[in-house]
Structure 1
Amino acid sequence: MSGKVWFITGVSSGFGRVLAEEVAKRGDKVIGTVRQHRQLEEFNAISPGNTFAYIMDVTNAEGVKATVDAAVKHLGRIDVLVNNAGFGFLGAVEEATVKEFREVMETNFFGALQVTHAVLPYLRRQGSGHIVQMSSVAGFRSTQGFGVYNASKFALEGMSEALAQEVAPLGIKVSIIEPGPFRTNFAGSSIKNAQQEMPEYEETARVFKNTILGYAGQQEGDPVKAAQVLLQVVDSGNPPLRLPLGQTAFDAVRKKLQQVEQNLSDWESIATKTAFKD
C-alpha cells in the first residue's frame, strides 16, 4: 500500500533516517524534521519530490504546531506520525540531577506529546491515521543505570496506551515500538551521561554504562530490517499496540512478564485480602 504522507521526527540519523529512506523508496511522501539548516538540503535530496525537511525542535510547542500546520498545508494531510526524536541517558538515579531528568523528559516524553497534540486535530478530521511511538524495550523493562531514560519511555508508553483507547473510535491507530539494540548512533552521539559519578554505583550503573558504550557499532539489530517491519505494521489492518523489535527485546519482555507473574503468584493470597468484610 502506498500514497501515504508520513511525518517523522528526528530524521538526521538513526532509525528516523533509515525509516524515512525506506518510506520514500516505495513512493510515499515524508515530512522529516531536523535540527540544523545544513541538514535540510541533504534530506530533501534523498528522494526529490518525496522527502521534505523542516527545521523543528520538539521541545518548542509553538514551533511544533507551526511545522505541522505547514506540512499539512504543503501536502494536504498526514497519514502516519512517527515520534522518533529522542536521546538516551546513562547514570544511576541518584547520580542524575532533577535538571538532567527534566531535560530527558522534555524531549523523549513532552516532545512526543506536543507533536501528537499538534497532529491529532488533523487525524480526527480525516477520521483516520496511525501514530507510531518509538519507545524502547527500556520503556517496558528497567535496567540499573538507565533509570532516567526508562522513566521517559515508561511515561511515553503509559500515555500512548491510554491514547490508543481514546482515539480508536475515531479511526486512529496507535502503535508503541520497543527496539532492543540496533546498529544506530544511539550508543554514540545520541546518548548523554550523568555529570556526577558516584563510587557506590560502580558495580551496578557503571557496569551497564560500560556495556552500552562498549558495543556501540556492534549491536545485533539491522535498522533497515527494523524499518521494513515498521512498514508492515503501518500497512497492517490490525496493527499491534505494543511491538518489541529484535530477539533481545522479545526475550527481555518475556523475562519481565515471567517476573511479574511470579510476584503475583507469591503475594496474591496476602495482598488481595484488603476488602471490607461487609
Structure 2
Amino acid sequence: MKVWFITGASRGFGALMTKEALAAGDAVVATARNPRAVIEQIGDNPNLLAVALDLTNEAQAKEAAAKAIERFGRIDVLVNNAGYGLLGAVEEATAEEIEKLYATNVFGVLKVTRAVLPYMRRQRSGHVLNFSSIGGYFGYPGWGVYGSTKFAVEGLSESLSAELEPFGIKVTIIEPGFFRTDFLADNSLSVSAAAIPDYIGTPAGNMRDFGAVEEVL
C-alpha cells in the first residue's frame, strides 16, 4: 500500500487522483482549505485522511505532513496539484494579483515540498509529482503571469530531480493540456480586474473574452 499526499484534493485532478488511489487500495492524505469538502466529494474511507491546508501557510504545511506520518507512517507520493489561473495581459495584472498567484502556485509548492521531503529522505524513497501545464513550456497571450508560475515549477522540478536522485526520490512534471475540469470556474480562475481598452481585439484581449465566455458556459 502506497501513501499519497495530494494537495487541492477536493475537486478537479486532485479529487480524481484521490478516488483512483483509494480504489487501488492505497492510502491518501487529501488536503484542501476545507477538509469537509474532501469528505463530501470523496466520501468516508478508512484509508482517507482529510487535512486542512492553506498552501501559503508554511507551518500548516509542516503540520499536515506530520499528521500524515502520524497516521500512516510514511509518504510515498507527493502530488502538488493545487493552484489557480490568472487571465489577462501581463500589463493588466496588478502587483497584488501577481504576488497572490505566486504565493500559491510557486511558493505553495515549495512550502509543501519542503515539508514532505525530510520524511522521504529518511525513507530513501518517494515520488514527487508536480502539476505544471502546457503553459509551463510555451507562452500564450493572456496567460503570461500564470504561465510564468508554471515555468517556475518546471525549473524547480528539474533541479529537484537531480538533487533528490541520490536519495531514491523521483520527480515528475505533469503538463496537462485542455481537460474538462472546473479550471475556468471562479474558484480556480481569477481574471485581472484591470482591462486596458487598447488590448481589445488583440490576442490577449480575445483570450480574456474567450475565458469569460467559457466561464459562463
Q: TM-score, normalised by structure 2?
A: 0.94
Note the residue ranges of structure 1 that are not aligned, 5 or more in a row. Answer: 219-278
What is the match of residue 70 of structure 1?
67
Pairs within 5 Å for 1:1-278:
3-42=1-40, 45-46=43-44, 48-189=45-186, 190-202=188-200, 203-215=202-214
Amino acid at match of 1:209: R
Does the 8 Å contact 1:87/1:191 carry over to 2?
yes
Does the 8 Å contact 1:185/1:216 carry over to 2?
no
Does the 8 Å contact 1:183/1:216 carry over to 2?
no
After TM superposition, give the deviation of residue 158 of structure 1 in Å. Answer: 0.7
Structure 1 or 2, whichever has the larger Rg, is 1
After TM superposition, give the deviation of residue 108 of structure 1 in Å. Answer: 0.3
Amino acid at match of 2:24: R
Matched residue of 1:117: which SS? Answer: helix
Mapped partners of 2:41, 2:75: distance in 1: 19
After TM superposition, give the deviation of residue 199 of structure 1 in Å. Answer: 1.1
After TM superposition, give the deviation of residue 216 of structure 1 in Å. Answer: 5.3
Mapped partners of 1:90, 1:131: distance in 2: 28
Mapped partners of 2:216, 2:161: distance in 1: 34
Matched residue of 2:127: which SS? Answer: strand
Mapped partners of 1:44, 1:146: distance in 2: 31
1:242-278 residue CA offsets vs partner (Å, 9 max, x unmatched): xxxxxxxxxxxxxxxxxxxxxxxxxxxxxxxxxxxxx
Mapped partners of 1:22, 1:166: distance in 2: 29
What is the match of residue 275 of structure 1?
none
Amino acid at match of 1:99: E
Matched residue of 1:116: which SS? Answer: helix
Moved over 4 A (4+): 215-218
After TM superposition, give the deviation of residue 215 of structure 1 in Å. Answer: 4.2
Note the residue ranges of structure 2 that are not aligned, 5 or more in a row. Answer: none
1:19-62 residue CA offsets vs partner (Å, 9 max, x unmatched): 1111111111010001125325425625x112210011011000
Please say which of residues 125-134 and 181-190 is displaced more in the overlay: 181-190
TM-align CA RMSD: 1.6
